[in-house]
Structure 1
């Protein structure tokens, strides 16, 4: 058998059920520094960043017997995991600041803290990624409606399709965006941070 460091991520995951510790150690070696860099960039605290990465790998290890990539690559999975863990730390920081009364009501309503700004930026990014994942025609219809403010009839005329087809595409776009699990999770986090009193 080849050395583990010569295997692709997908091959490692396939091998994982048979060599738990060795495969996990190789994944840890490949991604620890990358995840730590992301966490440190966002949190600006080495201890918190290291704790974030450690938590991600602990949760990852717990999935060793039934982990599946489900069409995504390992890099994508781990980047989403570290992003979610960063949100957890930011939410904890925010709550601690509120409890210590460092954030007044006026600041809470009108001031975008670094934590809030990060969450909003990530939401925007995730939302745009979710739009890009829509089927081509569906995405085009949605963007014409959102970005150009065209009516259903104007879109139908522009694309030479029926108004019912336009309505169908818009309905599908809204449904797909609502059902996007990652986007929904991020949105819930945003609402929690921006609306919690």
Structure 2
């Protein structure tokens, strides 16, 4: 009888293909808390966060025959999946709110004009380029922190770094990204000012 608690993530993923549900139980036991933290951080609701994590684990199990890990470790994949599922829940929540009979859209909602949409797209592209320009280790730490919602302690543990090194990487990333974004942000402010 396999002791899945001793397995590395990659071995767990490979073992899922056997259909042994104890593999899923091990993944649940190993990563439930971290996944729940990411979901709760985005949704702000315990019940929805738990449902989100359950949905991700259910989908993982359904895809077990085709699922594999390459460069990414399992917790990073699961965190990203939880984040995406959270966005789906938030989108669904918003659509339900719009359908509600009592919902009245705010009169001052500022719909984006084509020009503003273009500027927002440019800012997003600039942000993405700034992140890609970071050194690989710094980029990974930044993504785990800002995109996957992991704490400095969790990042340090998963990458086998000290917390001070993680803080240093985040400080460097923030400084470089801020420097790269200043010009486009200034353009956006000038544009917004002249549109009033």
What TM-score do the two structures reach when normalised by structure 2? 0.55
Aligned residue for 1:84, secondary structure, equals helix
Distance 2:47 2:126 in 1: 30
Structure-1 residue corresponding to 2:98: 98
Distance 1:7 1:129 in 2: 35
Q: After superposition, what is the alpha-carbon deviation per residue over 1:28-53, rounded to whole angstroms, capped at 9, x for unaligned? A: 11112221222123222222111111
The offset of 1:80, in angstroms, is 0.6
The 1:133/1:10 distance shift into structure 2, 3 A limit, reads farther
**Conservation of the 8 A alpha-carbon contact between 1:12 and 1:23:** yes
> Are 1:54 and 2:54 counterparts?
yes
The 1:48/1:59 distance shift into structure 2, 3 A limit, reads same
Structure-2 residue corresponding to 1:182: none
Q: After superposition, what is the alpha-carbon deviation per residue over 1:84-139, rounded to whole angstroms, capped at 9, x for unaligned? A: 111011111111222225341425437xxxxxxxxx9xx97x98566434586xx9
Aligned residue for 1:106, secondary structure, equals coil
The offset of 1:16, in angstroms, is 2.5
The 1:47/1:133 distance shift into structure 2, 3 A limit, reads same
**Conservation of the 8 A alpha-carbon contact between 1:97 and 1:103:** no
Query: Aligned-pair RMSD on alpha carbons?
Result: 3.6
Aligned residue for 1:90, secondary structure, equals helix
Structure 2, unpaired ranges of 5+? 112-119, 140-176, 184-196
Distance 1:58 1:134 in 2: 36
Structure-1 residue corresponding to 2:131: 132
Distance 1:26 1:127 in 2: 40
**Conservation of the 8 A alpha-carbon contact between 1:4 and 1:26:** yes
The 1:24/1:8 distance shift into structure 2, 3 A limit, reads same
The 1:108/1:53 distance shift into structure 2, 3 A limit, reads farther
